[in-house]
Amino acid sequence: MRRIGRWSRVGVTVLGLFLAGTGAVVFVGEALAAWQPSKPVEFVIMAGPGGGADIYARFISGMIEKQKLAPVAFVPVNRAGGAGAVAMEYARGKEGDAHTIMITLSSFIMTPMIQKLPFTYKDYTPIALLALDNFWLWVNSESPWKSVADVVAECKKREFKVAGTGSKQEDELIFAFFEQRAECKPISYVPFKGGGTVAANLVGKHVELTVNNPSEGLPHYPGKLRPLATFAEGRHAGTPYEDMPTIKELGYPITYQMIRGIFGPPKMPEEAQAYYATLMKKVFDLKEFQDFLSKNVLDPTFKTGPEFAKWLDGYNELHKEIMTKAGWLK
């Protein structure tokens, strides 16, 4: 009962921080807004250096410092491993701590279910959803494959060697469905600790395909890597990549986006939860942050409070369904 209440009350707290409502609501918001961190905040990253989560956490920390949005530093710390389990277990051990936050991937939802861990996403303190990240199908620029049709024709003949972040995480899930929908020969999947390493292995021609996020692959584009299609629901209109087709429109019904959310440890004090939600809204509203999202082809999506909690429940159910279809859950 305590947990359910926390997820609901944060909406009232944030409302008090943003709206001039009744005297009682404003009083609660103002009281909680008075709290602020008194020492550096550890910003836990669920993956290794160079990947999307790492890039975003370090950018957010930099914006907080540059714009003087907080009285203390936010210190990014990579805690990769176990498909996100290492970071989740670490944050779980910080129960009640007001000076630790974590940026998440979809493995935040997936890993506890797959590994049957003694905790779920509901055990953590929801702060804010900032964006939904996209996945593109990438090949080396020197690859003979110029289109998804070229890749499919080849993958029907032989086994492909591909790479992604972690085992039984987002990248492998996408490849599992691509193998099914395109009727490929079995795909050999090689896991790495972060998307930066994954992209580097494609640059080095150690693997043949990846589904890196744009932020991970674009630093190597157009010289070393070439994207063939996006797994988004629609094309990326208004970007330099708006002519890139979706996998779906090419006849392979696969769409997927990754959560880029901020969470606190279990039982984070409500005043800290409200502070970080307000802080992340300030970051989200910065022109530099919106430009960053646009440059890296993320979909801006801000949610907090009960709206975020409800969205997470739906995202959890979606992953139960797709992981069951992939044969990962029994």
Residue-level pLDDT at 330: 79
Closest CA to 296 of 260, 261, 248: 260
Residue-level pLDDT at 208: 98
For the whole model, what pTM was predicted? 0.84
Residue-level pLDDT at 13: 36
Residue-level pLDDT at 34: 84
| CATH code at 136-230 | 3.40.190.10
| Sequential pLDDT tens for the chain (330 residues) | 333 344 444 443 333 333 333 333 333 444 444 899 999 999 999 998 988 999 999 999 999 999 999 999 999 999 999 999 999 999 999 999 999 999 999 999 999 999 999 999 999 999 999 999 999 999 999 999 999 999 999 999 999 999 999 899 999 999 999 999 999 999 999 999 889 999 999 999 999 999 999 999 999 999 999 999 999 999 999 999 999 999 999 999 999 999 999 999 999 999 999 999 999 999 999 999 999 999 999 999 999 999 999 999 999 999 999 899 888 997
- What is the C-alpha separation between 6 and 139, in angstroms, rounded? 45
Domains 2-133+258-325 and 136-230 fall in the same CATH topology: yes
Residue-level pLDDT at 124: 98
Sequence ranges of the domains in the chain: 2-133+258-325, 136-230
- What is the C-alpha separation between 62 and 264, in angstroms, rounded? 19
In whole angstroms, how far apart are CA 61 and each of 38, 86, 173, 258, 287?
Answer: 16, 22, 30, 20, 15
Q: Which fold has domain 2-133+258-325?
A: D-Maltodextrin-Binding Protein; domain 2 (3.40.190)
